[in-house]
Amino acid sequence: MSEVSALNHAKFDGFASIREIGPLGMITLRAKPDLPGLAEAIRAAVGTEVPATRRIVTNGDKAAGWMSPDEYLLILPYGETGAALAAIAAALKGQHYLAETVSDARAVFRIEGAKADQVLAKLSPVDFARLEPNELRRTRAAQVAAAFWKDEAGYTLVCFRSVASYMMGLLTHSAQNGSELV
Amino acid sequence: MSTRLSRGGRLIDRSASQEFSFNGKKLRGLKGDTLAAALLANDQMLVGRSFKYHRPRGIVAAGPEEPNALVGMGRGARFEPNQRVTTTELFNGLEAQSQNHWPSLEFDVGVINNSLARFLPGGFYYKTFMYPRAAWKHLFEPIIRASAGLGKAPKDRDADRYEQAYAFCDVLVIGGGIAGLQAALVAGASGARVIVLEQTAHWGGRAPVDGDVIEGAPADAWVKSAVEALGKMENVTLRVRTMGAGVYDHGYVLAEEKIADHTPGDGRPKHRLWRIRAGRIVTATGAIERPLSFAGNDIPGVMLAASVRDYVVNFAVSPGDRTVVVTNNDDAYRTAIALKEAGLEVPAIIDARVSVTGDLPARARAMGIRIEAGRAIAKVKGGKRVTGVAICIQAGEGSVLEEIACDAVAMSGGWSPVVHLWSHCGGKLVWDTTHAHFRPDATKPPTNQDGQAMVIAVGNANGAMSAADALADAAKGGAAAAEATSFKAEVKAASATQVTEAPMEAVWIMPQGAGSALKAKMWLDYQNDVKVSDVQLAAREGYESVEHTKRYTTLGMATDQGKLSNINGLAILAQSLNEDIPQVGTTTFRPPYTPVTLGALAGESRGEIFQPLRKTPMHAWHEAQNAYMEPVGLWRRPYTFPRAGETHEQSVHREVNNTRTNLGLLDASTLGKIIVKGPDAGKFLDMLYTGVMSNLPVGKCRYGLMCNEQGFLSDDGVVARIDEETWLCHTTSGGADRIHAWMEDWLQCEWWDWKVYTANITEQLAQVAVVGPNARKLLEKLGGMDVSKETLPFMQWADGTLGGFPVRVYRISFSGELSYEIAVPASLGAAFWEALHKAGAEFGTMPYGTEALHIMRAEKGFIMIGDETDGTVIPQDLNLGWAISKKKADFLGKRGQERNYLASPDRWKLAGFETLDGSVVPDGSYIVAAGHNANGQGNTQGRVTSTYYSPTLKRGIAMGLIHGGLNRIGDVVEFNTVSGGTVKAKVVDPVFYDKDGAKQNV
Amino acid sequence: MLILECPYCGVKAEETELSPGYEAHLKRFGPGSSDTEFEDYMFARKNPKGVHFERWRHVYGCGKWFLAARCTATLEVFGTYPAQSAEPPADLQAKIKAKRPDWKGYK
Amino acid sequence: MKRYSVFAIAKEALNYHLGWEKAWASPAPKKEYDAIIVGAGGHGLATAYYLGKNHGITNVAIIEKGWLGGGNTGRNTTIIRSNYLQDSSAAIYEKARSLYETMSQDLNYNVMFSPRGLLMLAQTHHEIRGYQRTAHANALQGVATEWISPAKVKELVPIINIDGPRYPVLGALYQARGGTARHDAVAWGYARACSAMGMDIIQQCEVKGVKTENGVVKGVETSKGFIGTKKLGIVVAGHSGQLADMAGFRLPVEAVALQAMVSEPIKPCMDVVVMANTVHGYMSQSDKGEMVIGGGTDGFNNFTQRGSFHHIEETLRALIETFPMISRLKMLRQWGGIVDMTGDRSPLISKTPVGNCFINCGWGTGGFKAIPGSGWAMAELMAKGEPGALAEAFNMWRFKEGQFIDESVAAGVAH
């Protein structure tokens, strides 16, 4: 028995390359930023500091992202969520918080290539020229919720698992050769 | 005749011949031609028929204002009606057909309407076709409808693809003429992010055609250098073939890019809809020339003067050998000069002004062109083609002084700035008496989210009509736009040689004293056949508002939306009402500027990605089994799993029977699952649910109901207490997102000091209902945890493993059978589902779908949100009072339920029904009561809410609401049928099956 | 197509990333309230042609509800602020008053 | 009033149509009237017309801020139907529909009522059940509707895609006598008939205040001075709240934008009106050949007559999926109207807390089809001071009582 990603690592190569990756380990952590022990909990779980508003802090294959004023997304290897939850529980014992594994609730895509932003610019009302490195942007991709951030090679995009094939369809449509924006 | 000249043509490539067809006739044009230019080059002046009178129509203009020359293009899945030939780029293989005629363009039977035109004035249909009444439906309307429309309706699914894209900028410049380029240069130099849109394939607009001299050189050279300079600026994006379609609130602009219209089938998207968010919008959209209203001004060969010039200069196409120019301004002289320079004849320039001065007339005169001042055209001669004009005195009534033979007429009634985009979001206009046009009133601009002006009009679009003025105005506007978005800009305009033009003179009717007969031949709206006489009739009849006149006469309602006709029409209206033009005002400008393809507006949302389709982890398995799926919100759930040869009904019944006797498996993954955690979570859930959840012991489950604040039942589900601070709330499949949002709404907006967090983990888990007498056997076979009655009794849950899968098992039942709902991580869902099937084969496992689920719950008398409830039903109506706490001081909906009508004992309440003959009560049926109400409607006393054939009981069963509810048990009532009959049924207990729950508590 | 700045995450969100929630600063009336109070709470909505206070949720973003002061006649947005506010911030009220001298206050 | 007919046209044609008289007079206001209607849209004009025709009250002024018929009457998608679920809705809409049948003859003005048939598509099992419920309700209400099969849908609407991959057409609720009418003509026809009865239509006259004494209405302050009246009817749709404010009461009404659009005209290809509520779109083809398309409302208060564009996109996606051949047509014009929505999305035809002051509003997205019925019921209310059977359920106190008239309950829609 082994866990499978939503689309079995589907891929498409147009003017940018689209890959469905994952599953990644993900934990949704709901806590106020001033909660005692929060920094320790996040450090223990993914080894990063508490991300600032709209930022994602990475640490190798782990990361922590700011999702809302009282919610963080912790990313880590799929098999390590149990240990991370235990570490969070230890650090936040007696505090008001919520931590749940959501690795399986998500689908993750990589959009890579020099024109990767053009694929997303067709789908999301986001000013990509102003999107900062390490900015975690939650928005809409066509008709579904999505979150993404960029690195040197491209973008990582997270959406709900049930709409993974819709997302793949959107990205494929948008990355067709000949439909570059510039 | 119209023809291709041997020299010139700034936009054509004579070495690249293009073949195309018009009405099946093979023709040749050149690369760079518009379809209009190519048609004219082939002497195809007649291109269509008008809407109402089917009069012959020729090309009038050279741009998007063209009202006449619309054709059907392409074929099959690429057929497109109403394509404007003046904005269509010619390509090899283009196929065009003219429209709105039968049997042919040259001979059109519909032209009979033309002979009857006198009896068909504006709004005639409001005054007739009324008697006898039946004749409207059976005679008149079918005729009117059959004659409706212009182009043919496409038949096929569109073969092309479309897409949309977002863009952001500080300054959006719409229009790539010299004003737009100048504004972009200034804004670009400031460092602002600039996007420049041009609707055609070429930069520069009219200036190169008009012979403007900029920075001492022909405009073409300056345009080239400006585009090069802009191209080098990293902060500037240039986009041709992109039409600014509409300005919307808060700086949102829609633009349509025609990517592959001229290269159909090359695999690229046909159109791309841009959604641009701009800090400031600079409209450099130029101006549109107005026709003059003289008798016969609609005869093919009568064209706008500047358009004639466009064809000559841009495409080396002459619309006629002998062109009479008629004007009220100096600009039209440019046309005469251009024609003359091209070696064509200009027999006369008819100028309505008594005094003709200015540089351009002087040049024309010097070239030997005859100028007739104070003159007018009394009448154009010709039928399908101009043959000549009759000349009269403008100040008179139209007595003919002279006839001049010609095959084209170039007319100019002055210029109207393109103010559409300025006006879309509320920008106001001011009447400029010098140019007799409306231009943007800079003191009343459209405003944005900050209350600041968001559109700046420049150049011709702002009433700056000469090249020099336009450039200066555009530099100023471009700088203002950049400064408004926090950049420092320098107002630096290119200089243009100023040509002295004498003032134009407003001429709305030619000749001024024309009588009724002439006015009935003066066209305002060429496509819709609205004449001067029609507008005057509307005014006479009291349709005095410009909106009334427009609607009564259909002036400006054609596909050009009045680009040529509006100002002329409202001038006539103002004259008729004896009012000033600004008092009459304009009709509202609405997007889009020119029509936008619907496919582009739908963008990528077609076919597979029309809408998100949510899939459970087992979705692929269901599809592979040929499940018949039904939409549940955006999910697809198996309705049933028919086997070969089975109807859906048969397969549903098989699934019910098998589940009741052996074992059924249901994919319940779509059920909402929301974690609620925190010190105040219990208190919160007690407000949310009608019952008490705070005292639910850890490890146990409880059924709960949620109401909205009105008191109406909105969702239900089983709640499990996970630990001291944590509850897991199950919602209906459709309810997960809605209920999660509902929870967050109350937590964020009302009880924000309560310590509660929620998390919607619906998609984290796949969930399977293992249902039936053999359920436990299957789980025991998989092994890994104790699922015995003792360890895991009804309404409890436990974590563990089954067959190696990490699971959470709930002992809950929606079917009345022994039942376990088992959650596993979604990524293991498919594997777990298959493992259950494999291991369950010996126990008679079958999957079942939503319909079997519904039947089994109905057999047990369980309510279903959406069936028993419809947004007007309270829990008390459904005999669910037991699930409502009497002790709690408050819960959402409690106050609402205290209102008179909701607390009334007269409300319809739930009961069961069995038809006397065993048949199934019709879905949606009402229970009739005696008599009729005050409105003559039959009285009712209840209605069915769920009705099924029960394969278990082998008869029809139903649940429904009835006045008196369970007190009516034993009564026989009548359900109505749509055909007027009734079905008799006995009121019974709604629990039809296993009333004591013996089967589920094992 | 409105733009509203989410006061929590600072995103200038466009309308399609938001979901509207109608009138803000409603006081909930539960059991024990009069019929009129309850009716007002549920139905008697303010519908000014002018300054209006309303609820929005950054539904495709941080998921938080926030409040906005907006003119229903011009769609000008005077400001946004967190939903956890009993009344509009004083500086926002002052700003609106300066821009709309005839404004009679949020109540 | 000079009678309209084909003979009149022929006669006038000989004289270049110079002899036509004004369709309605534009008099200065008198000092006082027996009744004033504020709002010369369809509902206001119809109210005035039936005050005169049914109740003999003709000393009436209809006051209009702009131009008659210039509000939602002239900006809707002209659909007429009465296949509503709830008894009180079905009663008033069916009354309206039946009055549309003879309106052209009653008014001697061709309003081009075209009972070409109207379909409401069922595209989910839930919708099937909802429409079957409506069909059963209609059978008892005397509203002629029927449930038809997908094959029959295809026969009536050849351009429809009945087996779309997402939302196959599973059947439809069909009202054969539903259809469309020419919206402007309804206002113009009523205006002409009112004027002919001696009523004063006063355009370009804005009401600035409502004068009351001891809780009873006395007249209105307007931009053309004070005008006294014994009875006041407020029929101003989106601006009802403002008028109620002036009279000193509050309404459970909010104003939002509703959008519509038309395509360029094409040759006739769809004879019936089709509503697809699952995907939120409806479409018909006008007598001019344009596809007339309506969509959803904004979720925020708005008086600008401009809606948010994404609604147009959502509607078009859905319609292209349902009618694939429209993809290559073009949007010619889009616009918005301000509609007034109540707490249950059903209208108010009601007395108010102010004596002799009556309100008719809240028609939301469904106003045009109701015009004659609404006017009929409102005239009865104003003439008698008490609602008749048609208006009774639409009182403004129903919210307090919890007695909703909720059309959304069975897959239905209020428009």
SS (H, E, C) B59-74: CCCCCCCCCCCEEEEC
| Start-to-end CA span in chain B (Å) | 97
CATH code of A115's domain:
3.30.1360.120
Residue B795 has pLDDT above 90, yes or no: yes
- Note down the domain range covering B687: 672-763
Q: Tokens 């320039």 identify what position?
A: B349
Check residue B105 and report its DSSP letter. S
pLDDT digits (tens, 9 = 90+) for B369-420: 999 999 999 999 999 999 999 999 999 999 999 999 999 999 999 999 999 9
CATH code of C11's domain:
3.30.2270.10
Q: Please compute the mean of the pLDDT values over residues D399-410 and round it to a whole number.
A: 84
Domains: count for chain B? 6
Number of Cβ within 10 Å of residue A74's Cβ equals 26
Q: Tokens 């709900």 identify what position?
A: A160
- Note down the domain range covering A91: 11-174
Kindly tell me the burial class for residue D386, based on how many C-beta atoms sit within 10 Å of its own C-beta (0-12, 13-18, 19 or more): exposed
Q: Please compute the mean of the pLDDT values over residues B768-777 and round it to a whole number.
A: 98
Domain presence at residue C11: yes
Residue A1 has pLDDT above 70, yes or no: no
Phi-psi map region of B184: left, alpha, beta (phi>0 left; psi -120 to 50 alpha): alpha
Q: Residue D121: pLDDT band by 50, 70, 90 thresholds? A: very high
Domain presence at residue B594: no
Domain presence at residue C105: no
**C104 shares contact with chain D (CB less than 8 Å):** no
pLDDT digits (tens, 9 = 90+) for A5-54: 899 999 999 999 999 998 999 999 999 999 999 999 999 999 999 999 99
Which residue from B119, B149, B561 is facing D268, i.e. has the nearest CB? B149
What one-letter code names the amino acid at B582? P
Contact B947, B921 (CB under 8 A): yes
- pLDDT at position D414 is 46
CB contact residues (below 8 A), chain D span 160-179, against chain B: 161, 165-167
What one-letter code names the amino acid at B967? N
Inter-chain touch C31–B451, beta carbons under 8 Å = no
- Angle B320-B325-B328 from CA coordinates, rounded to 5°: 155
Chain A nearest CA to C8, separation (Å): 7
- The chain C residue lying nearest B709, using CA atoms, is C42
HSE-CB of A101 using CA atoms within 13 angstroms: 22
| Start-to-end CA span in chain C (Å) | 27
CATH code of B571's domain:
1.10.10.1100
- Shared domain check, B98 and B15: yes
Domains: count for chain C? 1
**Integer Cα distance of D329 and D264 in angstroms:** 7
Domain presence at residue B659: no
Check residue B451 and report its DSSP letter. S
Q: Which residues of A touch B164 (CB under 8 A)?
A: 122
**Integer Cα distance of B446 and C51 in angstroms:** 18
Inter-chain touch C61–A138, beta carbons under 8 Å = yes
**B757 shares contact with chain C (CB less than 8 Å):** no
Q: Residue D167: pLDDT band by 50, 70, 90 thresholds? A: confident
Domain end marker among B729, B763, B797:
B763
Inter-chain touch C22–D343, beta carbons under 8 Å = no
- pTM (2 decimals)? 0.96
CB contact residues (below 8 A), chain C span 62-101, against chain D: 70, 72-75
- pLDDT at position D243 is 95
Domain end marker among B556, B579, B602:
B579
Contact B855, B958 (CB under 8 A): no
- Shared domain check, B7 and B56: yes
**B972 shares contact with chain C (CB less than 8 Å):** no
Chain C nearest CA to A143, separation (Å): 9
> Can you name the residues that pair with D114 across neighbouring β-strands?
D180
Buried b (16+ CB within 10 A) or exposed e, B413-427: bbbbbbbbbbbbbbb
pLDDT digits (tens, 9 = 90+) for B654-700: 999 999 999 999 999 999 999 999 999 999 999 999 999 999 999 99
- Shared domain check, B352 and B374: yes
Which residue from B166, B277, B763 is facing A124, i.e. has the nearest CB? B166
Contact B713, B703 (CB under 8 A): no
pLDDT digits (tens, 9 = 90+) for B410-456: 999 999 999 999 999 999 999 999 999 999 999 999 999 999 999 99
Domain presence at residue B770: no
pLDDT digits (tens, 9 = 90+) for B231-248: 999 999 999 999 999 999
Q: Which residues of B touch A182 (CB under 8 A)?
A: 237
- The chain D residue lying nearest C55, using CA atoms, is D300
- Shared domain check, B454 and B403: no
Beta-carbon contacts below 8 Å between B and D: 329
**Integer Cα distance of D402 and B872 in angstroms:** 10
**A140 shares contact with chain C (CB less than 8 Å):** yes
**A139 shares contact with chain C (CB less than 8 Å):** yes
- Shared domain check, B137 and B26: yes
- Shared domain check, B135 and B66: yes
Residue B114 has pLDDT above 90, yes or no: no
Probe site for chain B from A98, A115, A139, A177 (most B CB atoms < 10 A): A98
- Tell me the two tokens of residue B900: 């008179």
Question: DSSP characters for B172-223?
Answer: EEE--BHHHHHHHHHHHHTT--EEEE-SSSSSBTTHHHHT-EETTEEHHHHH
Residue D415 has pLDDT above 70, yes or no: no
> Can you name the residues that pair with A13 across neighbouring β-strands?
A17
Domain presence at residue B81: yes
**C19 shares contact with chain A (CB less than 8 Å):** no
**Which subunits count as partners of chain A given 3+ CB pairs below 8 Å?**
B, C
- Tell me the two tokens of residue B662: 């052996």
SS (HEC) of chain D: CCCCCHHHHHHHHCCCCCCCCCCCCCCCCCCEEEEEEECCCHHHHHHHHHHHHHHCCCCEEEECCCCCCCCHHHCCCCEECCCCCCHHHHHHHHHHHHHHHCHHHHHCCCCCCECCCEEEEECCHHHHHHHHHHHHHHHHHCCCCEEECHHHHHHHCCCCCCCCCCCCCCEEEEECCCEECCHHHHHHHHHHHHHHCCCEEECCCCEEEEEEECCEEEEEEECCEEEEEEEEEECCHHHHHHHHHHHCCCCCEEEEEEEEEEECCECCCCCCEEEECCCCEEEEECCCCCEEEEEEEEEEECCCCCCCCHHHHHHHHHHHHHCHHHHHCEEEEEEEEEEEEECCCCCEEEECCCECEEEEECCHHHHHHHHHHHHHHHHHHHHHCCCCHHHHCCCCCHHHHCCCCCHHHHCCCCC
Q: Please compute the mean of the pLDDT values over residues B852-874 and round it to a whole number.
A: 96
Inter-chain touch C28–B451, beta carbons under 8 Å = no
Q: How far is CA B290 from CA B46, B243, B305, B335, D118, in A?
A: 21, 21, 9, 15, 42
Q: Which residues of A touch C61 (CB under 8 A)?
A: 138-139
Instruction: Calculate the CA dihedral of residues B415, B420, B426, B430 and round it to 10 degrees.
Output: 0
Contact D328, D269 (CB under 8 A): no
- pLDDT at position D410 is 58
Nearest CA among B438, B404, B434 for reference residue B422: B438
Domain end marker among B358, B387, B413:
B413
Domain presence at residue C95: yes
Probe site for chain C from A68, A98, A137, A159 (most C CB atoms < 10 A): A68
The residues, ordered by sequence, that sit 6+ positions from B484 with a Cβ below 8 Å of its Cβ are B279, B280, B452, B453
- Shared domain check, B323 and B260: no
Inter-chain touch B752–C33, beta carbons under 8 Å = no
Contact D96, D374 (CB under 8 A): yes
- Note down the domain range covering C43: 3-99
- pLDDT at position C41 is 94
**Integer Cα distance of C29 and B941 in angstroms:** 33
Domain presence at residue A76: yes
- Shared domain check, B868 and B967: yes
Q: Please compute the mean of the pLDDT values over residues A122-145 and round it to a whole number.
A: 97
Q: Which residues of B touch A169 (CB under 8 A)?
A: 608-609
Q: Please compute the mean of the pLDDT values over residues B15-23 and round it to a whole number.
A: 97
Domain presence at residue C8: yes
Q: Which residues of C touch D250 (CB under 8 A)?
A: 44
- Shared domain check, B420 and B276: yes
Inter-chain touch C62–A125, beta carbons under 8 Å = no
- pLDDT at position B667 is 98
Contact B927, B940 (CB under 8 A): yes
In whole numbers, what is the pLDDT of chain B averaged over residues? 96
- pLDDT at position A2 is 60
Edge-to-edge strand list for the sheet holding C19-23: C19-23, C51-57, C65-71, C77-82
Q: Residue C80: pLDDT band by 50, 70, 90 thresholds? A: very high
CATH code of B212's domain:
3.50.50.60
**Integer Cα distance of B430 and C12 in angstroms:** 34
Inter-chain touch B133–D91, beta carbons under 8 Å = no
- Shared domain check, B434 and B559: no
Domains: count for chain A? 1
SS (HEC) of B903-967: HCCCCEEEEEEEECCCCCCCCCCEEEEEEECCCCCEEEEEEEEEEEEECCCCEEEEEEEEECHHH
Domain presence at residue A80: yes
